[in-house]
Amino acid sequence: MTITNSRICFILMILTAFYACQKEKVGYNFIPSGNYVNADQNNGSYIDKSKDVEKSFIDLNTLSIALSNANININIGLLKMPDSLIYSQIPLQINSLNYEWAVYFDMDNSSSLTKGDISISIKKFKMNDSSIIVNNILTGTQKNIWLYDGTYFESISNLDKYISLNGNNICFSIPRSLDTSLLLINNKTNFYFQTTFNDGTHLYKDYYPDRK
């Protein structure tokens, strides 16, 4: 795939208009294209093939989603999470998606991306970075809940406090009280996992379940 296919059109709203609002108003247009999983299979635990993508730090491996009345716990286990990653490679265009580790929830179980669907993710966009950056996955990235409004994904909550690393696992433990959309997720809500790495020259992706 080329950079053209993966180019993210990134919209920065007028920040001052939203300072009174606690939520971040940043959106991007992007059509996720995985196949959804029946959420209530395997008791919420899933294993993706290893080495089905060239880059171990986005190679999905052991995955889980555990729901309680109070919390949504998501584990994204990768084949290998290094201590640090390189961000904002020079060939990558400004406002492009650089990295993503995400779960997309099909809130209406339509098997397609529709208004009201949400995503929970760690992402890195190349902003006005004039040189490469070396950071670990927690300090070099943004962590958000994103709501699809029919055209764009919009960031509706910050997850900085609810993500930790454990070996090769990214662990989300998110209180449902953080956003009303989280109250709607149950063990029938279909979803898929998606990771992305774009260095400006190549686009790498892994999915669970695999794309058909």
**Binding stretches for Ca ion (CB under 5 A):** 48, 52, 59-60, 106, 108, 110, 114, 117, 206
> Does residue 12 contact residue 31 with C-beta atoms inside 8 Å?
no
Nearer to Ca ion by C-beta: 52 or 179? 52
- Supply angle C-alpha 71, 74, 75, rounded to 5: 145
Smallest distance from Ca ion to CB 116, Å: 7
- Please give the distance of CA 119 from its chain centroid, rounded to a whole number: 6
Smallest distance from Ca ion to CB 148, Å: 8
Six-digit token string for 181: 């959309």
Smallest distance from Ca ion to CB 119, Å: 11
Smallest distance from Ca ion to CB 132, Å: 26
Nearer to Ca ion by C-beta: 117 or 199? 117
| Own/partner pairs, 201-206, CB within 8 angstroms, 24+ separation | 201/3, 201/89, 201/91, 202/1, 203/1, 203/2, 203/3, 203/5, 203/6, 204/53, 204/54, 204/55, 204/58, 205/53, 205/58, 206/48, 206/52, 206/53, 206/58, 206/59, 206/60
Radius of gyration of the chain (CA): 16
Nearer to Ca ion by C-beta: 146 or 162? 146
Smallest distance from Ca ion to CB 172, Å: 19
Nearer to Ca ion by C-beta: 48 or 199? 48
Nearer to Ca ion by C-beta: 114 or 164? 114
